Structure 1
């Protein structure tokens, strides 16, 4: 049985306010091409199909196009809902989709109903778990009393293991052999050391994902996923191998500059007669790179500077002593897709140890304004033209006060 593990498509998400729909469509088309090239039997998408619980109409069109392309190449599809998805919207017409080979798992009241796939060795069961919030679980199951995401995933996995044993004709102690099965889940799983898995991003050192922590709900122990031949995880946006059988695929597209150093792709998973045989990383195309440029504005826009960034998403860090006027507009004249700008002067003006009140004590209004501008402009006071305007304004105030 050959599976393709992907996750976190986040259809509808923007890159610093700019639509990613066109780029995501290219990447999802590449996923469909990989299905054909590698003779994939089923594609698993482990949560966060959409970026919002109320996606726009175009997001449904993009999803439908991607699913049709995958199905045209013969693979079935298993989708689970993530913390960004609206389960009811995602699962709308799920019964109709199932008839077409697209299986949507978004119902937290139906955890142990697998998608049954068949190969030359028999059945492979795919259990898709939606994002399981403990509050939803308590309302659905009278015997669930947990309060953390660990509790919710443990409860769900116990149901799955029991169902797999029942399908083998009894428990292991009674001689039954559980069938081969795969689990898809959307959560923040711990590494083998019991800690949050390390990220490969240069900046943050951790997952580039919106916070879902509410009272420690997020972390789920690796041992929770014992039993399946393979566990396809979603939620973290870069690939992670927590064990041979438990992996994150990451998002297929970069959605922030924090992800610029992480490879984007998916896992090609082969399930043999005895379980997992191999998991091979397949890289996906990068429609637009994300780069960080640092230097003075003049250096960054100099002729011939950074030609590889001209069509990339650009995060600029300006090191000028003072922030140049219209800096972003100037950057975008050279880098049309510059979307963020930060100012980090290479040298910083030392205002000394005195407090601001001490520095301006006994000074005239003009001197106080000059002191303020020097402080906020990293050592650069008012220009000659600015000083003339300030003097005129102060003289006008003095004249008005004298007439009162």
Structure 2
């Protein structure tokens, strides 16, 4: 049986305020062409189809169009729900859709109905898919009469799915949306682990000839027969080093051959760090000029109009971080910090503090002096020599 393994589309998601609709559309175009070119028996999508339980209409239309085109290639499509999906909404009409070759498993009842996958262009069964939707332990434990852990509910679900399989010697693909031990996480995944209860051992899915996993956004291989496809589109800067794509897998009883097909890149990611002037002048950073950028500035004094200057060279900068070097100093008391300093100096210090170390220029210092003098002429109480009186609170 030949399959394409993908997951975690998160349709409807944005990236630091930038919509990912075009990126998703480009990937889905690529997936349709790949399905047609490779003549796969089934495309399996292991959860998190949508990014939220209530997707907007345009996002629903994008999925509808993609599923129609995938089915038009002659392949079957198997979709399971993830922790971001609404199982009820995703699963609506699923029994009717099976007649067209689209199999959606979003409810527990579907676990005991393995899917027979015919060979491409044939009516003969090439293999079977046991498709497990996302199983929330606190809910599934009651339905399965098990402990409220991912390990317990997944073990029971796998047992139920395999028990329902015919004994015909054909390969079996299992689909699951969970965090398995030994895998690597990213910042963009919603945590489903509480006190270790969300971690399942890989042995839970070793009973399958191939386990097509979803939930984690980095493509990874836990064993030759247990893999995460990862998300096809990056969703956080923590994924800057990821290679996105889809697994093309040939599964036989007891053997697997897998090839990772890279997905098209809508816009690359770049993580930059350094002093502003150096970043703007560095010829090695030309690649970042067209990328979505996360920039961390390490200038001792926070530069004025920093984002404008950064975007002058890197126009797609989405995240700007200031990491001013700090020197270790001995702590001093509040009174010691204020001793011998007049109101103007304190105002200037405060301005430098809120601006990341950049104090007032000559014009600003003159304006501060005039404002303090005016306050004194009005009879506002000046600060005492020890810095403990009211005018300090006025400055706050």
So what's the TM-score if we normalise by structure 1? 0.87
Measured in 1, the distance between the counterparts of 2:358 and 2:23 equals 43
> Is it true that 1:32 corresponds to 2:32 in the alignment?
yes
Identify the range of structure 1 (324-333 vs 99-108) with the bigger mean alpha-carbon deviation.
324-333
The residue that corresponds to 2:378 in the other structure is 400
The residue that corresponds to 1:159 in the other structure is 160
Of the candidates 268, 271, 281, which is equivalent to residue 292 of structure 1? 271
Question: SS in structure 2 opposite 1:40?
Answer: coil
Q: 1:221 to 1:307 in 2, by over 3 A?
A: same
Of the candidates 350, 353, 365, which is equivalent to residue 387 of structure 1? 365
Question: SS in structure 1 opposite 2:116?
Answer: strand
Q: How does 1:116-265 map to 2 (within 5 A)?
A: 116-119=116-119, 122-141=125-144, 144-164=145-165, 167-168=166-167, 179-191=170-182, 197-198=183-184, 206=186, 208-265=188-245
Over aligned residues, Cα RMSD in angstroms?
2.3
Identify the range of structure 1 (32-41 vs 81-90) with the bigger mean alpha-carbon deviation.
32-41
Q: CA deviation at 1:236?
A: 0.6
Measured in 2, the distance between the counterparts of 1:110 and 1:94 equals 10
Identify the range of structure 1 (6-15 vs 70-79) with the bigger mean alpha-carbon deviation.
70-79
Measured in 2, the distance between the counterparts of 1:301 and 1:385 equals 28
Q: CA deviation at 1:362?
A: 4.8
Cα offsets for 1:272-317 (capped at 9, x unmatched): 2x33330111111111000012233333334967322222111111
Measured in 1, the distance between the counterparts of 2:256 and 2:226 equals 13
Of the candidates 342, 345, 348, which is equivalent to residue 370 of structure 1? 348
Question: SS in structure 2 opposite 1:251?
Answer: coil
Q: CA deviation at 1:110?
A: 2.9
Q: 1:336 to 1:100 in 2, by over 3 A?
A: farther
**Would you say the 8 A contact 2:177–2:215 is kept in 1?**
yes
In structure 1, the gaps of 5 or more residues are 169-176, 192-196, 200-205
Measured in 1, the distance between the counterparts of 2:367 and 2:61 equals 57
Q: CA deviation at 1:33?
A: 1.1
**Would you say the 8 A contact 2:224–2:256 is kept in 1?**
no
Q: How does 1:40-189 map to 2 (within 5 A)?
A: 40-119=40-119, 122-141=125-144, 144-164=145-165, 167-168=166-167, 179-189=170-180
Q: 1:42 to 1:122 in 2, by over 3 A?
A: closer
Question: SS in structure 2 opposite 1:401?
Answer: coil
The residue that corresponds to 1:202 in the other structure is none
Question: SS in structure 2 opposite 1:110?
Answer: helix
Question: SS in structure 2 opposite 1:97?
Answer: helix
Cα offsets for 1:111-160 (capped at 9, x unmatched): 1211111348844111111110122214434xx13111111101101112
Cα offsets for 1:25-64 (capped at 9, x unmatched): 1011111111122111100000000000111111111111
Measured in 2, the distance between the counterparts of 1:243 and 1:217 equals 22
Cα offsets for 1:328-358 (capped at 9, x unmatched): 223223323110001123x546654324443
Measured in 1, the distance between the counterparts of 2:25 and 2:287 equals 23
In structure 2, the gaps of 5 or more residues are 382-396
The residue that corresponds to 1:330 in the other structure is 309
Of the candidates 280, 283, 289, which is equivalent to residue 301 of structure 1? 280
Cα offsets for 1:197-250 (capped at 9, x unmatched): 236xxxxxx564121223433200111112111010001101111111111010
Q: How does 1:261-280 map to 2 (within 5 A)?
A: 261-272=241-252, 274-280=253-259
Identify the range of structure 1 (153-162 vs 64-73) with the bigger mean alpha-carbon deviation.
64-73
The residue that corresponds to 2:386 in the other structure is none
Question: SS in structure 2 opposite 1:153?
Answer: helix
Measured in 1, the distance between the counterparts of 2:335 and 2:193 equals 42
Q: 1:393 to 1:354 in 2, by over 3 A?
A: same
The residue that corresponds to 1:171 in the other structure is none
Identify the range of structure 1 (108-117 vs 250-259) with the bigger mean alpha-carbon deviation.
108-117
Measured in 1, the distance between the counterparts of 2:146 and 2:254 equals 33
Cα offsets for 1:142-192 (capped at 9, x unmatched): xx131111111011011122222xx22xxxxxxxx664211100000113x
